[in-house]
Amino acid sequence: MSALTVLGGDSAFTGARPVNLRTDLGGIAELIDLCFSVDEAGRATARELRALSQTGPLLALLQRMDRLLDGLGQGFVWLEAGRLVGNVSVAAADYPSDMGKGYIIANVAVHPDFRRRGIAKALVSKALEHIAARKGTFAILQVEADNYAARDLYRALGFYEERTFIKWQRSAMLRAPHKLEDMPFITLRQGSEWRAEYELARLVRPNRRGGIGWLRPTHPSQFRPSLWRFLAMLFSGQGVERWIVRSSDERSLLASLTARTQFGGAVQLSLLVHPSQAGKLEKPLLNYLLRRFDGQHRALYLEHPADDAVANAIFEEYGFTRRHTLVHMRRDLAGRAAEHGDA
């Protein structure tokens, strides 16, 4: 279905309405593919939506499940005389309950022939009304840093910018660098040291500035050992290694580099360095980890604050390439501002 195809029963309708899974997925896929053609994630989303749109009777079941599960895949489309020309998706954010009830706004797309008519603003406004009706406390989204028009639109709708992150990726074909001559003592973090790492994260990745990264708030649950999390990761083939550098009195952590692995897949990294050690520990930690995974032919990726020029220069030196530069934005709903969880 083309994004400009007239939809049967809506042939004379102009305006926003909720997504109808049985009739809209093909048109949404075309729209996302058109608007995000250079974005790998956008192309993947379009492929999945196309495949789902062809499942026939299964869509009716999914639509009923959607209502029961309060927000799974919900969103709105904009029709212009029955033609699907705009879309916005809304989904619940999987945040700890003590951080408020959050929602993600994504896939904001308007056909190029229908831009500058206020359609994107109307769709995002509908999404915010939808979130407020479900007693949501905040909404989050991410936008390409060079999409200034979209950033201006979101600011006009009450969003504020938390932080800009760069998504980095290192090819699985690259070899590890040689060991540095002067290396600090790097060791695995003990379970009892989770609070020290949490405090380091609160200092360098506060939630008011986007937390650890997209959908990864700085929260004790991200660091505290959990039997259930361990079992879930074990059965799913996932693993996590937390490499650290301790302070001389061993009461705090100066830096940490976390590697999350999945069987046969890429490695997701998170680098935290105390401001007093900026420029001193980033390179040794990364050097250590690259040698740790050498020969496993795994791609490595991470998102890191764009304002950390020292670390970003080291990523480039070690063969990481920039994939995206994204601004994380948030809106706290009036009267329902949630605590970020930072001191």
Q: Which fold would CATH assign to domain 8-136? A: Aminopeptidase (3.40.630)
Are 130 and 139 in contact by the 8 Å Cβ rule? The answer is no
Query: What's the rounded Cα separation, in Å, for the pair 185 and 177?
Result: 18
Please write down the HEC assignment for all residues of 281-337. CHHHHHHHHHHHCCCCCCCEEEEEECCCHHHHHHHHHCCCEEEEEEEEEEEECCCCC
Question: In the 8-state DSSP scheme, what is residue 61?
Answer: H
Query: What's the rounded Cα separation, in Å, for the pair 324 and 120?
Result: 22
Matching CATH number, 167-332, of 3.40.50.2300, 3.40.630.30, 3.90.1300.10, 3.20.20.70: 3.40.630.30
Q: Which residues pair with 287 in a beta bridge?
A: none
Domain ranges for the chain, please list them: 8-136, 167-332
Average pLDDT per consecutive 10 residues, the chain (343 residues; last block may be shorter):
53 89 88 76 53 52 46 80 95 95 95 96 97 96 97 98 98 97 97 97 98 97 86 82 96 97 90 97 98 94 98 98 98 66 55
Q: How many CA atoms lie within 13 A of 90 on its CB side?
A: 27
pLDDT score recorded for residue 316:
98
**Secondary structure element (H or E) that encloses residue 244, with its range:** strand 238-246
pLDDT score recorded for residue 229:
76
Query: What's the rounded Cα separation, in Å, for the pair 91 and 73?
Result: 6
Query: What's the rounded Cα separation, in Å, for the pair 161 and 154?
Result: 9
Task: List the strands of the sheet with 83-92, edge to edge.
Answer: 15-18, 74-80, 83-92, 102-110, 138-144, 321-332, 160-170, 300-305, 267-273, 253-262, 238-246, 187-188
* Pick from 105, 109, 104: nearest CA to 24: 109
* pTM, to two decimals: 0.87
DSSP annotation string for 106-127: EEEEE-GGG-SSSHHHHHHHHH
Q: How far apart are the first and last CA of the chain?
A: 50
